[in-house]
Chain A
Amino acid sequence: MKRAWLIIILSAMLVPGMASASTDPAAGYNQGNHYYSQGQYVKANGWYADAFVKNSYLFYNIGNTQYKMGNPGWAVLFWLRAERLSPRDPDIRANLKLVQTQISKALPVSSSNPITDFFKSLRDLSSSRGWGMLLSVSIWGFWVALSLRIIFGRSRFRTGFSILLSSFIILVLASGAGFLSRRSWEQEPAAVVIDNNGVSAKSGPGKDLTNVFNLPAGARVLVKECRSGFCSIELPPGMVGWADEKSIKKVEEKEYR
């Protein structure tokens, strides 16, 4: 009896270890890299899919593989997912820019405003996690600075601690604004056109309705609602149409596979 218990306990201890060894994401990722470097993109994609974990390096490499496989829509989707985790990564930015330049030629409208672009670049300095971390550090620094200001309120260091406290208040406000704007952007119901032939937006949820505009693969849209296999999509300038649910894919999903 004692022996049986011993076996059960040992099994319980060993099984999780074995499981984690067989599903090590880094191993699958590195194997995918190996096939990618040989130009075997389909195999590489399979290994990346096995290694699935929400990691910007993995998403970036999947995006590259999809691009090489001739799926620009899927490529943009995964690069956008990677960009959400590492907004300052120059490789992700460069690839997105390259594809967006190609897509923008086929898009009916484009909007660019130096002021909004500036604020966007500030927002994209970090992910919401990064902004949240900075906000946390700032808040803690604020508490410390406030404590020091209280303790040394009547000493000759008073001015120095007052400046330190003010700096932390500014930092808290700035990082809070960055965190909120980046988080609200990340929580936008964004989607990407994944169909290689693009998508024809209809005037309503039905395939026999009038085409109102066409979007190329890789175009980023906002999804407002979905019904009867069609989703109401919106382009930033306010263009609205209904696209086949299968031809678009949301950037933020519970399961990314």
Chain B
Amino acid sequence: MADSRKLRLSINSTKPSPLAGEVRVRGIDFISCQSLTLADKGEITLSLILSRQGRGKFVSNICNHNKFIDSLKFHGLFFFFAVAALFLPFIAQGQVLFHSELSQTRVRVGERAVLSVVLEGDINTNATVDLPDLSPYFRVEDQAGPNVSSSMSIINGKVNKKVSLQYQYYLVAVKAGNFTIPRLTYHQGAQSYYTSPISVEIYDAQSAADAGPASSKNWAPDSDPYLKLELDKTEAYVGEQIKAGWYLYFQRNLFNLKLGNQPQFAPFKALELEKVNRLAPVEKSFKNMPWNVAFLQSLALYPINSGKATIGSLELRFQSQGGQHDFFGMPIGQLESVSSEPVSITVKPLPEPAPADFTGAVGKFEVKTSVTRTEARVNEGLHLMVEIFGDGNPEYVLEPKILMPPEFEIYPPEVKNETEAREGKLFARKKFDYLIVAKKDGDFTLPAVSLRYFDPQAKEYKDAASRPIAMKIFPGAGGASAPGAAPALAAVSEDIHYIKPDQKSLPDQTTGVFGKGWFWLIHLSGILLVGLAFFYRAFQERLTSDQVFARRLRAPGQAKKRLKKAAVLARDHKAQEFSAELKRALLEYFGDRFCVSPWGLLEDDMAEVMCKEGIPEELAKELLGLLASLSRAQFAGKIEDNDFEKIIAQSEKIIAAMEKTKK
């Protein structure tokens, strides 16, 4: 938490919903929610703790973006409850916010800077913060505060009290140099809270005046104001850093100064070196006339190609006090602008031939290597950090080639680039963080890492190299234990899973059954299936409700069964039983077919029924004749052997003919 700051995010709205409307950001950083306060119906305030990853500009972009607001609106209620649920315990337990801020981090000797210290949370109003000793760089001129404000909130019946104390220390710089204001400490019970240290550059007023353009008796600015570009050199090698600084000369009162069009840097790579938020003019004399000279901004320029290169003009817009006055007698400012003149420089090519391993780094460089531990186990992951520091263009500092011992595996690095302005120059620190894993135990030496660069002062190619690192690798799990090594069962490193094995075939997984016709036919058949189910259900219901239909439907099947039974009796030559069974089969078929009771019907009655049902007379006669002959055979008890089959065939023929006459 020491490396974090506080942000207050307000969502204001005229609408009843507190989470709809405009988002405004006051503050700088952003990452996690610290507390949430519902101020009134239309406003919600989120106090957020933000890590160093988020810069001010970045945050403001997030928060001002409609999408962010939309997502906030969408997730509004859930966000509210989730944040409240997550962070209420912290608030209840008395979370304290403690941070400090200096009004400017570059101060001239004799200049005043304000150190603001804020202590917020469930604290005592009498809490005090001790300012560390800032001598010999700063003198504490005055102190204001503490300004105390307190608030109380009741959430779910729980009362939370919050007190905010703000101290302001007015510091006067007394000695030039680079100084770090130590972290401030606040103790509450067993807990200690710290602010982040603040680095500040204090420069000498005289040296500042000397650093800018010198006084001159022969030259004076052409106009008031006058904007001039100053270069530290007018001749440089390709890739060599050139400091370009813009200075404003003025005698009259200027206000509302704003930088307008920026110069064109097409033949250069430009990186910001220094910039002022507030003018700090120094009085100088030109042709015996006093002029104010103020530094505006400086850039580090790296020429890309050899030849003549021009740095374009910078525009400064301002308002000056004219002779006109408004209705109330106040002077009316006139909007004007001034531009610097373009300046050309000569860019020299690098000497040929360049070494094979030269990647374009021009300037002065140092290479350092370090490893997390010089003693480790086999298969244990270690970080090898290669740090290249120098004043050249960081883009030309490429990943170094490391000739690791074959017993080590090395993985692609994570690259970080940091820049810092020091003594009027821009220095870059490029860090390559490699993961290395030893595959064998023993004593090894990690070789020196080198960078080939061109030194423009010495006008020759040089080699910056780190020192080799001696490593001692112990056997992995099961081997001898290394001093201070992790337990044998602990995971030692992470790697991706291994590749998939060989395959006999490798099908295209994006084409499947969805494109096949039969797949969709199966789906259609499902609908057909339901249709069939409905039909079957209706059929079954008719069978149970319509007796005529059921008997007629059953008639041929039943007759067939009885005929089979009769056929069995025929094989045994049982004439009497055969005749009785066949007669019964025919009569039952007759009853089912015409839906009458066949028993006790006379021949004439049967003929009449068949006549009514439209049975041909010959067929009716044949049936009646067959029945009569069967009655006779039943009583006689005798049928010729050849007649059994004939009778069965005749019966089948009659039934088949009767079925054909169905309406």
Contacts and interface: CB of A to CB of B under 8 A. Distances in A.
A102 B65 contact: no
Interface string B214-243: 000000000000000000000000000000
Interface residues of A, number: 63
B500 A91 contact: yes
A140 B529 CA distance: 10
A33 B497 contact: no
B506 A143 contact: no
Contacts of B527: 143
B64 to A, nearest CB: 10
Contact of A140 (B57, B503, B523, B534): B523
A153 B538 CA distance: 12
B509 A150 contact: no
A36 interface: yes
B499 A60 contact: yes
Contact of B509 (A26, A85, A109, A241): A85
Contact of B496 (A67, A85, A142, A153): A67
Contact of B412 (A25, A72, A142): A72
Contact of A132 (B54, B412, B504, B514): B514
A147 B497 contact: no
A204 B6 CA distance: 29
Interface stretch (B67-75, B201-209, B318-326, B582-590): B67-75
A140 B522 CA distance: 8
Interface string A46-87: 000001011111101100110100111001000000000110
A56 B509 contact: yes
B506 A55 contact: yes
A147 B67 contact: no
B536 interface: yes
A169 interface: no
Interface string B476-497: 0000000000000000001111
A150 B61 contact: no
Interface in A70-117: 70-72, 75, 85-86, 90-91, 94-95, 98-99, 102, 108-109, 113
Interface in B30-83: 31, 53-54, 57-58, 61-62, 65, 67-71, 82
A57 B500 contact: yes
B142 interface: no
Interface in A199-230: 203, 210-213
Nearest to A241: B61
Nearest to A149: B533
Interface stretch (A8-16, A118-126, A232-240, A243-251): A232-240
Contacts of B505: 25-26
B526 A151 contact: no
A92 to B, nearest CB: 8
A240 B494 CA distance: 33
From B67, B71, B411, B499, residue with most partner A Cβ within 10 Å: B499
From B57, B502, B534, residue with most partner A Cβ within 10 Å: B502
B356 interface: no
B503 A94 contact: no
B71 A153 contact: no
A235 B500 CA distance: 31
B54 A203 contact: no
Contact of A57 (B53, B61, B495, B506): B506
B508 A53 contact: yes
A33 B507 contact: no
Nearest to A148: B533
A139 B496 CA distance: 40
Interface in A26-52: 26, 29-30, 33, 36-37, 51
Contacts of A86: 509
Given A132-B514, A240-B65, A98 B509 contact: no
Contacts of B255: none
B2 interface: no
A231 interface: no
A55 B498 CA distance: 17
A26 B506 contact: yes
A91 B512 CA distance: 24
A220 to B, nearest CB: 16
B1 interface: no
A194 to B, nearest CB: 14
A64 to B, nearest CB: 5
B503 A57 contact: yes
A163 interface: no
A212 B58 contact: yes
A109 B500 CA distance: 33
Contacts of B498: 64, 91
From A29, A108, A153, residue with most partner B Cβ within 10 Å: A108
Interface string B510-527: 101110000100110011
Given A64-B496, A150-B537, A239 B62 contact: yes
A36 B536 CA distance: 63
From A37, A65, A144, A213, residue with most partner B Cβ within 10 Å: A213
Contacts of B503: 26, 29-30, 57
A147 B533 contact: yes
Given A53-B506, A91-B497, A94-B497, A139 B514 contact: no
B469 interface: no
A238 B71 contact: yes
B57 A61 contact: no
A151 B68 contact: no
Nearest to B415: A197
Contacts of A55: 506-509
B501 interface: yes
A234 B530 CA distance: 49
Contacts of A148: 533
A237 B71 contact: yes
A203 B61 contact: yes
Given A237-B71, A238-B68, A143 B526 contact: yes
B418 interface: no
Interface in A142-200: 142-144, 146-148, 150-151, 153, 196-197
Contacts of A197: 415
Nearest to B513: A133
Nearest to A99: B496
Contacts of A75: 496
Contacts of B148: none
A183 to B, nearest CB: 12
B604 interface: no
B130 interface: no
B611 interface: no
Given A98-B494, A147-B529, A85 B61 contact: no
Nearest to B61: A212
Given A55-B506, A67-B496, A108 B54 contact: yes
A240 B65 CA distance: 8
26 contacts: A26-B502, A26-B506, A30-B502, A55-B508, A58-B506, A60-B499, A64-B496, A64-B498, A70-B411, A85-B510, A90-B497, A95-B496, A98-B494, A109-B31, A129-B514, A143-B527, A144-B526, A146-B533, A147-B533, A148-B533, A150-B530, A150-B533, A211-B57, A238-B71, A240-B65, A240-B67
Given A53-B507, A109-B62, 8 more contacts: A25-B505, A26-B505, A29-B502, A75-B496, A102-B414, A146-B530, A150-B530, A151-B537
Interface of B: 31, 53-54, 57-58, 61-62, 65, 67-71, 82, 411-412, 414-415, 494-510, 512-514, 519, 522-523, 526-527, 529-530, 532-534, 536-537
The 4 tightest CB contacts between A and B, nearest first, are A143-B526, A70-B412, A238-B67, A147-B533
